[in-house]
Structure 1
Amino acid sequence: MFVDLQAAETSGLRAAMVDRLTSAGVLTDPRLREALLRVHREVLLPHAYVRVSGPGADPIDWRLLDGSHPDDRQEWLDLIHTDESILLQRDGEPLDALARGPVTGGHMTSMSTYTPATVDALQVLGLAPGQRYLELGPGPGVSLALAATMTGPGLATGVERDEHMAAFAQRSLERLGVGATVIEGDALAGHHARAPYDRIHSGIGVPYVPPAWVEQLACGGRMLTTLTTRTPSWPGQLLVTRAGGGRLEAVLQGRPRGYRPMLGYQWLNALDHRARIKADPGTARPARLAPPADDAYGFWIAAAYLAPGLVRDFQAETMTIVAPKDDSWAVAGPGDGTVRVRGPRDVWAELEEVHTRWVEAGRPETYRVDLSDSTGIQSVTSGRGPKELSWSLPPLATVPLQMP
């Protein structure tokens, strides 16, 4: 078992982190609380990139904190015990000889998950001793280590596509002595050798549920993943349960955050349009729809599918929705009953139409997903009859395998 030479210091930071999560009402599971207190995050996150450049900079300037360096140690320790996502890898780089200090350019290819999201996911899964656990895309292994601590040695497996990250995570987990294993491979294929699993958690967003994941879910099991769309603005969380008789039940709901999409799946973004929108927000017209609340997740997840190709600029002063591929946008308000629209696509009219349909369907917050269709179609519905909202998930056929 790993012994920290400065155990009192790190133990206090973990306790403060746990108390903060508990006070905020995020952490409620006593088993997970104990796991968070026991798992030494500094072993799993021995370094961290911090961004130096401001918004919109290209290339981006970073600084690498090395937890073993005395000049970095306090800043690094404070950072890895916050609720922030910890940036660990640029452009798929090897992780065994990183140099501390400033670096420029590149894109982050691996990071730890925002801590409240990890806590929420593991609590939804309801982990207990003796359960077989599969983590898809574990990255540095934070949630995998917590799961292994809760389920017991030899029961937790991760599948990681990046060879450097897989080796890095395995070494860290061995130092912790939690009995978890990381396999290098395609996360979309799961890991048949140790199936079936009582709990499956995906740390990557997928547009469609891979059949292998469903096949490897044990009777009585639960699976949790982010359903990603082309927009990062309105993610959905899918919880799949398999009843004792083998029947599947899958429930989708909108969430404020989700996991990043799988390799090869490109998000839309509004950044390239920001300056143009500021210079010319568009022509004002009366709006039937006031800007929907940010937490109207049932509406926004429906809009992600029924008005596809839209992305929100959350940095804008008023609600701004962009259709990048159509060079169109809508800027709401501010507060005068109008919306400004520009481009060939009337973005706000589409949102008004989706909102009308959502209201007529009963303002659903959750949606049923049918994963049992023999043709492979995965359909999403809420309500019944002529007012039903429905759509189909896009297939995985055009997305490459997850091996590097």
Structure 2
Amino acid sequence: MSLQTHPIPPIPDLTAKVAQRAFRKGNVYMQMRDVLGTFFTDDQFTDLYPADGQPAYAPWRLALVSVMQFAENLTDRQAADAVRSRIDWKYALSLELTDEGFDFSVLSEFRQRLLEHKAGERLLNTMLDQFREACLLGARGKQRTDSTYVLAQVRDLNRLELVGRTLQAALNALAEIAPDWLRTWVAPAWFTRYGQPLTEFRLPQKKTERDTLAAQMGWDGFALLEAVYFAPDVPPLLGHLSEVETLRQIWLQQYVLIEDTLRLRERKEMLPAAKLLQSPFDLDARYSYKREREWMGYKVHLTESCDEDKPHLITTVHTVNATEPDDKAVDPIHDYLQARDLLPDEHLVDMGYTSAPLLYDSQRDYGVNLFGPVWEKHTWQQASGYEIDAFTIDWENRAVTCPQGHTSAPWTMQEHRREHTITRV
């Protein structure tokens, strides 16, 4: 599918007339088109398409549809229907009222092109540039950051489902690459055991039966790995299949094999959540929790401008591993904003983003004042000790007197690597 670039067409007269009559008090998408234009052009996406093939649907329209789709939380089918049926969308997209739009699958194909060419940030960066040109966004204002969960597009699996679906995925991959070898090697019982998806509905309910099945699948998985890696007649490169490598990793994480005894690992024997694979179909998704929310997937940090005299606009979208602490995102967010010349003067965050080093480093390295509550340390000393105000400090004589009248003996001063002087008493 090739791209034939065209200039942005004007809004058709009939579309403009009907839209303005239908929305006498205005409409957000019509106002967006009138004030900010279309944001995108075909020329911005030429690198995503080959030189030959059938003409592609205009990527500037697909990009703008993606923005409006996200704003309204629509599915691909709903977004494609909106292009066909909604006057305000036709106005923003310069479409005739009779335009039939496109098949909903075109949207996912467009997103896949963005992913393959690592061009996902292109849409946000283009919009930020236009917001700046319109004086709706600028540096040295106020911005705030918070995180939320991103669900992986895979089903949550219990441990029995995880090992079963992992083994099935490896068998399916081998069946595509080396069906003859697999047919001669696999035991007949495997076709019954792994011929259908191993969902909780099909799994036994009694603990003893589940333990027996877990051990059986464990032995089957190890037997498959041994055959793939060491069988004399194995076709080359089977051991390099990603599904086989995933099987190997999940078996190491889930099973303990001691001599002739095989069992699932106990919870205390498991890897930390940051390293534990949760699905054979998304190797980067992780289990995490925040406050009352539990999820399997990722975490996204959203930063928005919050100046009182301007609209609130998203300035960064920073997606990370679900288990990564929030404070690890502060420097990458500041780096991105600095590259776009959008660093704020005040950056408002919650407690997860703050620490003494970050408060200092943000001001020193970026000129950003990081505002947010700081974690309070709750220790056993804190429960039975005194507050700092209860001590009398004599700076001239280098002495500290406690509430019981005792005076400290040692007083040492040390230069810290961040050019601070630390006094130890």
TM-score by length of 2: 0.26
User: Rg larger in 1 or in 2?
Assistant: 2
Which structure has more RCO (C-alpha within 8 Å, separation ≥ 6)? 2
* Greater fraction of residues in strand: 1
TM-score by length of 1: 0.27
